[in-house]
Amino acid sequence: MPSTAAYGTVFAVAFGLTLVLTPVAGWVSRRVGVMAQPDERRVHKIPTPYFGGVAMLIGFLGALLVAWRLEAFAEIFDAPRAAIGVALGASFACAIGTVDDARPVSPPAKMSGLVLAGTALYFFGAAMAVLRVPFAGDVLLSSDLAPLVTVIWVLMMANATNFIDGLDGLAAGIVAIAAGAFFLYGHRLAGVDVEVIRPDNPSPLLAIIVVGICIGFLPYNFHPARIFMGDGGALMLGVILAGSTMLVGGQSSNPFSGQVFFFYLPLIPFFIMGVPLLDTLWAIIRRASKGQSPAHADKDHLHHRLMRLGHGQRRSVLILWTWTGLLSAFVLFPVYTRRGDAFVPIGIAALGLILYTYLHPGARRTRDIEA
């Protein structure tokens, strides 16, 4: 296993590159006139530069190159197809998202770019090969289903990250927390006392790099934001997380994965990314009930509802960061203690019930009338 120092080095490179390059990206954005203008569906008040996602991508690729040169990650880069696939997919997603930031493209065109990203992940091996269904065992995906499921997972994760990117620092913070949890999870599964995933699996490496680029970006993006990651950054982060999670949950057929604390292996990404995935699901249902396209923009996301309840930007962001941290803690506790599995679904259900009660529009209207 790579040492803590090796992971720390890669994290530092990702953090440092992003920290240095983000102001440069903002300067370029201003020079070419690609700015996020205030409007009725956005909460920021002044024109703000994009291209933060480009700086994050360079930080990601730079850290990956440094890891390739480190002896500690030799097993991963002896056969680097999966890491290359994630890098290509992230680059495709960042490219289509950045073009959309500069000059809006149609939803089908944006989806085509994400399908291309998912296809790159599949062909290079960062794909969903095994679908684990609780109580039903493993389902080995056929050559027809594997690419479809891979692309669907990429679309889900990318759009979930993009939907939650509505307040200063929200997406970067949530993804940093989620990626940190994925790193701890993957690192545990690759441990010498467990060995559920092989040492050449790049998932923990990808996750720690994502933590580095998100934290390097946050000083410029937390309220009041001086730069946005834009669709280029949000879609890119979603694709990397999709690749990282599929390399763990979609490829291991180790029998321990269905026992004790590994029982929740196929559900870990859903729990850790619970806030953005839940927000995405609500958005799709909400828009479909109104006869609108899922791509139709509105101001009814979780963070918008928190704002309408009287929380400012910073407090709303911190609340949703805390929610992601709690979800991560719930699923990591049995992973590291080997006990408490039964409390995971109960705890997740309790948090979901509180969130529903607090933020459901009908309940909020009732409180407003009674007040």
Domain borders along the chain are: 4-266
Give the residue from 350, 9, 1, 46 showing the smallest Cα distance to 209. Answer: 9
What's at 51, amino acid-wise? Answer: F
Specify the length of the chain in residues: 371
Output the pLDDT for position 265. Answer: 44
State the virtual CA torsion across 131, 187, 70, 122 in degrees, nearest 10: 10
Query: Radius of gyration over alpha carbons of the chain, in Å?
Result: 20
- Token readout for 189 is 């599964």
Q: CA–CA separation, 168 vs 249, rounded Å?
A: 31
Q: Per-residue pLDDT for 212 more than 90?
A: yes
Q: CA–CA separation, 160 vs 107, rounded Å?
A: 15
- Token readout for 72 is 């500690």
Residue ranges of the alpha helices (H) in 190-229?
203-221
pLDDT digits (tens, 9 = 90+) for 165-175: 877 888 899 89
Helices (H) and strands (E) in the chain, counts: 15, 4
Query: Average of pLDDT values for 83-100?
Result: 95
Give the residue from 237, 219, 218 showing the smallest Cα distance to 175. Answer: 237
Of the chain, the end-to-end C-alpha distance in Å amounts to 58
User: Which position has the higher pLDDT, 316 or 260?
Assistant: 316
CA distances from 202 to 77, 208, 229 (A): 9, 10, 25
pLDDT digits (tens, 9 = 90+) for 96-123: 999 999 988 888 899 999 999 999 999 9
pLDDT digits (tens, 9 = 90+) for 265-314: 445 555 666 566 666 666 666 666 667 666 656 566 565 566 666 666 77
Output the pLDDT for position 233. Answer: 95
Q: Per-residue pLDDT for 369 more than 60?
A: no
* Overall pTM surpassing 0.75 (yes/no): yes
